[in-house]
Amino acid sequence: MVRDTTPRQAVDLRVHRWLMIVGALLTAAALLLLSLLPGPPAEAVAMTAWVEHGRSLLLWSNELLFFAVICWGAGARGLFSAGLAGPSARIDVGGTALTVALVALVVVLLAVGRLVYPVFEIDLSTEVVALVVSSTFGALHLAFLGFAVAAVTLSWSTRAGLIGRAVGIVAAAAFVVGSFPWLTPNWWNSLVPVLVAAWGVSLASVTRTENSGDATERTSTTD
């Protein structure tokens, strides 16, 4: 038996879209703050001074990432789980890639948090600080690669058609290049977070749900 979506379910879909949009915007803001940091020094002995110099940027980026991961994860899970009546390899791959990206951002969250917040007043040696900083950028690399895979696969499941797929491919290429922030100029590192926001908002806005062509966003379930 097929039944229409209840008003409560329609509201839930809109809430999940907005959660995903807010998550993408918060993620972009956090990554933009990180991009404003000067390049880390190559010498481990200078790393502590680099952290102190960028403490405010690291701190605010850390706070934003916490809420970003929660919002984006909750929004994507609700939106994509409501989007299909059956299994989809593209959704599975894209959802897994997005999950990998968000988990990598959690690693960034933990690493940056350890740099800016004291834990039992334990001082970190310069070598440990250098390791944590390099791990932060390694996790960022993984996050952008996850976003790249998600951009390609999830864009195939939107209402935007060929335009959406083209946008997904372009976004994926930008994310792959942006996954090497130690090789790219500062202006590019600041541009990539803006692209993350644009892609995330676009994806949340045009992701297909069952019978998404219906203005009332009806879905159907089979008993």
pTM over 0.75, yes/no: yes
CA distance 78 to 72: 10
Q: How many CA atoms lie within 13 A of 104 on its CB side?
A: 22
CB 13 within 8 A of CB 209: yes
Q: Which residues pair with 158 in a beta bridge?
A: 207
How confident is the model over 132-166, as pLDDT tens digits? 999 999 999 999 999 999 999 988 776 667 887 88
Q: Average pLDDT over the chain, rounded to whole?
A: 86
* Span 175-202, average pLDDT: 95
Q: How confident is the model at residue 219 (pLDDT cuts 50, 70, 90)?
A: very low
**Helical residues (DSSP H) of the chain, grouped into ranges:** 7-35, 47-53, 55-81, 89-116, 126-154, 161-178, 186-206
User: How is the chain split into domains, by residue range?
Assistant: 7-206
pLDDT single digits (tens) 13-44: 889 899 999 999 999 999 999 999 998 988 88
**Contact of 171 with 151, CB cutoff 8 Å:** yes
What 3-state class would DSSP assign to 1? Answer: coil
- Cβ burial 56-83 (10 Å sphere, 16+ → b, else e): ebbbebbbbbeebbebbbbbbbbbbebb
* Residue range 54-66, pLDDT digits in tens: 999 999 999 999 9
Show Cβ contacts of residue 36 under 8 Å, excluding neighbours closer than 6 positions: 57, 190
- 3-class state of residue 158 by DSSP: strand
Measured distance CA(126)–CA(36) in Å, rounded: 22
